Amino acid sequence: MGSWRTLLLVANRSEIGSSAPQGCDNGALLDRFGVLIQAVLAVGAFSTLMLKRCSEPKDKRRPWRIWFYDTSKQGIGALFIHFTNIFLSELTEEDPCSLYLMNFLLDATLGMLVIWISVKIVAVIVKRRQLTLLVFGEYGDPPRASAWLGQCGLYLVIMVIEKTVISLVLLVPGWTKLQEIILNYIPNPQLELVLVMLVVPFIVNAIMFWVVDSLIMKKYKRVKIDESLENSVFTEQSLAPTDEEVQVLLGSGCNRVHY
């Protein structure tokens, strides 16, 4: 009798060991734990931008309003990509974590190329139409909220184009096997969720937010107006961008979230 129990125990263990990991369940991205992970990711991404601002020289630091306009465009774009990826990942019965990771990695690679091409096309249109307020990073003097809204809308159109292309690419057969390989060796669904929704996106987004913010920010310099005063008065003066810098400013469409 004891030998039969031993054989059954060994058989069960071998069956468990040979079975493939189940991964995340449907709805895992939007349950309490998933939402908590996303909140931590959002705080971490925002902290990266705050850290970058604090590391900038004081005489070249952007006014708070301009800084908000620049960074909020990145935030809006990242949120759009993030929630679109969640929606697409929950459409099928497959592991949503692996689907989200595939979407995110494609956004960070092929998606960047699509955004770059779209931005180049937008740059030509903006230049021909002389739509100055649609140049990313330029908000007028004084800064206008209407310019910010126009640039946000234009950026979201670029994000929709990028996400459409990525969705069509994912329809190509063969991605399912790659999804299984990527996360096949993670037996714990919560650990998989943390890696997919927090660790990988935080590292990639932190780098992208830092680099893109450097590209889209308009250079400012504090100029001393009166040398004779004991308490010298300073004014913030924007440096006129060269043609090359304008092209860089137009490259702000490269800011991903994934989100």
Q: What is the pLDDT of residues 32-44, one digit of tens each?
A: 888 888 888 888 8
Structure tokens at 69: 């306009």
Provide mean pLDDT across the span 143-165. 91
Q: Which three-class secondary structure state does DSSP give residue 93?
A: coil
Q: N- to C-terminal Cα distance for the chain?
A: 58
Neighbours of 165 (CB within 10 A): 18
Q: Please tell me the predicted confidence (pLDDT) of residue 35.
A: 87
Distance CA 115, CA 123 (A): 12
Q: Helices (DSSP H) in 109-227: which residue ranges?
A: 110-129, 145-170, 175-182, 189-194, 200-216
Q: What is the mean pLDDT of the chain?
A: 73
Distance CA 225, CA 234 (A): 6
Provide mean pLDDT across the span 133-162. 87
Q: Given pLDDT bands bounded at 50, 70 and 90, which one contains residue 165?
A: very high
Domain boundaries, the chain: 27-49+62-225+232-254
Provide mean pLDDT across the span 120-124. 84
Lowest mean pLDDT among 52-56, 187-191, 232-236: 232-236
